[in-house]
Chain A
Amino acid sequence: MSDAAALAAPAGAEAIADARERLDAHVREMVAWHFDRATGCPFWLEYAEGLDFDPRDVIGGYADLHRLGHFQDEWLRGGPIRRWVPQGLAGQPLYVFETGGSTGLPKSRINIRDFQTDYELYSDTLSDESFPPGSDWLMLGPTGPRRLRLAIEHLAQHRGGAAFHVDLDPRWVNKLVRGGRHQEMAAYKEHVIDQALKILRGHDGVRCLFTTPKLLEALCEKVSLVKLGIRGIFCGGTEMNAQFHRFAREELVPGIDFIPTYGNTLMGLACSRPFVAEPEGGGDPDYTITYYPPHPRAIFDLVDPDDPSRTVDYGETGRVMLTTLTREFFMPRFLERDEGEREAPIVAYPWDGVSGLRLFQRFGESVVVGVY
């Protein structure tokens, strides 16, 4: 059995129980931190005043978080931003990252070191062969007020390299797409790709690439990334399905390690199930993309949209409910704008994952990805 196959195998009961125990302990630690006057942030301390219980007394583990209800994304729109800064971290340099914002007020999340920690943990899952330590990165994706630009730079630095960047404004792209301005969008894409090509051709130390599915396609139309020396691609930023995964591996970048990843400002980075190129017993590889959250810092539950207190069965479709538990950010049971199928724990990640991740269909919105 290959390493990937071993890691992608179903997790044992003991590993699952251990992970759960670690999660419960982590929940107690985070609740204690966020609801203590000396360490918690103004938002949660004020929130606790409205409760008829002290969360520190009643929340003994992950299952008890329901006592706090569901985190509302409206809470993150608008200020004051400092109400989210935990007293225990006061005075430290603050980053503000935004998510959304194509229409209306974007959601803002404060960060001190979380994004660096998230990407350091993610770095541990990357192979040194495909993402050689000391090599440089090209970050070709959404920049501006997003976490991604600094995060990829930190990832590169953490692995001993440097990161090159190309500016990309996804909000402008959304406007072009929504306005049906296809030709302008094509011109913008070309502008972005031209800049990326200059970097790739001018700096031969670039071995690793972060980019989005659309930009990867556009880049591969112009050059062979293998010939340019790219060894590993960390792909994310927008929705990806199994067909794209297969297309990338078979046609776009054969021979390059292709790692689909799901990240967002509120959660951190979710890793995908290791890809098994040659399944035991033959047959076609399984290109389904299954993401596992950075447990215990973040947890996915797949819940019944009509009854979010019910976790759906394995294989069943549910709405993603995200819980983030770090010292910088406490976000219990947030009902995401995504849905997918609940997936069982595996050896590499002995906790629940999600496959077929896509926009929650009941919102009836179209996904605007355009250039990026």
Chain B
Amino acid sequence: MLHLPVLRRGSPYRSLDVQPLADLRTGQRVAELSLANPGLIARDLTETQAEARSLRDGIRCEELVGICGKAAELFLDGELPAGQRSHGREDYLAHLAATTGMPLAMGRRNMDKIAFVLREMERVLAGLTRDLPLDAIDDGWHEDERMVSFRRTSDLLGAVLPSNSPGVHSLWIPALALKTCLALKPGRQEPWTPMRIAQALLAAGTPPAMLGIYPTSHAGAAEILLRSGRSLLFGDRATVAPWRHDPGVQLHGPGWSKVLFGPDCAARAADHLELVAESVAANGGRSCINASGVWMPSHGHQFGLALAEKLSTIPARALDDPAAALAAQPSAAAAEAVSQFVEQRLAGGRAEDLTARFRDPGAAGRVATVDGSSFLLPTVLYTDDPTHLLAQTELLFPLVTIVEAPTEQLIDHLGETLVLSVISDDPGFQRRFLDDRRVDRLNLGAIPTTRVSWDQPHEGNLFHHLFEQRALQHDLATSAGSPSPR
């Protein structure tokens, strides 16, 4: 049995407390995962924080950027330790598919995203820091025409990670290149990606003590969040709620990303059918940047039908099918439960499932079973009530609600929105969202919500989370090497 250990400051540790990992298709156990007890995590994090300065002093950002570059290729094609075995690319993808339902083809695309971030780390950091020279991180300051200095907010970045999609792991990697130690709690079904990234980074030369991976319980996750000066927390609304007012915890809850048509463009929404379909269904609809709402002041029903017809052509396929575009659900029962959840919300009235009429009459609703896996088929809902519960519903499959209401109502009820694509040619309308605090990433124009620009993080800014600008003056002459201000 493949056993995935805890990674304690770079060293594998086999716990006596293990969690089985099963193949969603067969229910058979494919691996077991060591679970770290909260006290063990506390102990390691305390030790890491005590050594953080010496770890940082021992390496420069430039070296870490180089390490990330090497790690990119190792992550893609290397044979890397996975517990007591060595895993190649295909082993990784097969296990990822088995325990998370991510099709192999989709897994490959996510691998490419992660490798891109590793390979292009210098560009990514330049985007995060707005071109701050890296010696400002190494030395604490940089003086060119003007002095800039940043201080760390934490020696350690904790991250409580999700299982939905591997691409999300590209968010924490830059912290390492910024010389910040890491304590990661992988998602319960998806330890594969953070562990493979970590092994690639270690093989490329990362100081082992900078990396910790702690599969653990809720209590262990809380330990990571409480003890890391800065952390990232991924989870649903209930998971993130207790941490909402903790400035040290950057929340990555549901995205509720949306496409919003302005009054001038709603009648021509069909011109953007491809864009909306991509926003809803790319990556199997599993990302927080997938649109779960299309909000428009008119022509909503008509557009919704066109979208429903288009998305209903996406079939469920076996996970090893190169054309697979949907990810499997954890089980038939789970898929059925999610489908029932949608039905219950529809039963409340003022909403309809536009996809129903395009489904094969012989099919069993929105749940499909292929090759032992259960899938939820793309679903387009419609409501004319922006306060309807379905207007703010996000689920782990391509589900989108067309909300049709007068423009002012749409804007009033927009709600928290991770990515908003505003499709309008009216500059006045576009400007209304520039300082809208409910919106994180703003796309002005015909841009899918899923289009990522790596030099602009879509969710918070890791650099701003880990560093804060400070005033610094000195009367030292700059010498060769690394000047240290008094």
Interface residues of A (CB under 8 A from B): 179-183, 186, 213-214, 216-217, 220-221, 241-244, 246-247, 251-252, 287, 366, 369
In the complex, which residues of chain B have a beta carbon less than 8 angstroms from the beta carbon of A180?
241-243
> B43 contacts A287, CB within 8 Å?
no
Q: Please encode chain B, from 216 to 241, with 1 for each CB lying within 8 Å of some chain A CB and 0 for all others.
A: 00110010011000000000000001
In the complex, which residues of chain B have a beta carbon less than 8 angstroms from the beta carbon of A183?
226, 246
User: Bound state CA distance, A244 and B35, in angstroms?
Assistant: 11
Given contacts A182-B222, A247-B37, A287-B16, are A221 and B246 in contact (CB under 8 A)? no
Q: Distance (Å) between the CB of A170 and the closest chain B CB?
A: 15
B452 within 8 A of A: no
> B17 contacts A242, CB within 8 Å?
yes
User: Bound state CA distance, A27 and B427, in angstroms?
Assistant: 87
Tell me the number of A-to-B contacts counted with CB atoms below 8 Å. Answer: 46
> B40 contacts A251, CB within 8 Å?
yes
The 5 nearest A-B residue pairs measured at CB: A180-B242, A217-B39, A243-B17, A243-B16, A242-B16
In the complex, which residues of chain A have a beta carbon less than 8 angstroms from the beta carbon of B226?
182-183, 186
Q: Please encode chain B, from 4 to 18, with 1 for each CB lying within 8 Å of some chain A CB and 0 for all others.
A: 000000000001110
User: Bound state CA distance, A214 and B46, in angstroms?
Assistant: 16
Give chain B interface residues in 11-69, CB to chain A under 8 Å: 15-17, 35, 37-40, 42-43, 46
Q: Per DSSP, are chain B's interface residues mostly helix, strand or loop, or mixed? A: helix
Q: Per DSSP, are chain A's interface residues mostly helix, strand or loop, or mixed? A: helix
Q: Distance (Å) between the CB of B41 and the closest chain A CB?
A: 10
In the complex, which residues of chain A have a beta carbon less than 8 angstroms from the beta carbon of B16?
241-243, 246, 287
Q: Distance (Å) between the CB of B429 and the closest chain A CB?
A: 39
Given contacts A182-B225, A221-B46, are A252 and B39 in contact (CB under 8 A)? yes
Interface residues on B, range: 20 to 34
Query: Which chain A residue lies CB-closest to B248?
Result: A183
> A251 contacts B43, CB within 8 Å?
yes
> A217 contacts B38, CB within 8 Å?
yes
User: Bound state CA distance, A217 and B225, in angstroms?
Assistant: 17
In the complex, which residues of chain A have a beta carbon less than 8 angstroms from the beta carbon of B40?
247, 251
List 10 additional contacts besides A214-B39, A221-B46; criterion CB under 8 Å.
Answer: A183-B246, A213-B39, A220-B39, A241-B17, A241-B37, A242-B17, A243-B37, A247-B37, A366-B218, A369-B219
User: Bound state CA distance, A182 and B218, in angstroms?
Assistant: 12
In the complex, which residues of chain A have a beta carbon less than 8 angstroms from the beta carbon of B43?
221, 251
Interchain residue pairs with CB less than 8 A apart (19): A180-B241, A180-B242, A181-B242, A182-B222, A182-B225, A182-B242, A183-B246, A186-B226, A214-B39, A217-B38, A220-B39, A241-B16, A242-B17, A243-B16, A244-B37, A247-B39, A247-B40, A287-B16, A369-B219
User: Bound state CA distance, A369 and B241, in angstroms?
Assistant: 20
In the complex, which residues of chain B have a beta carbon less than 8 angstroms from the beta carbon of A244?
37, 39
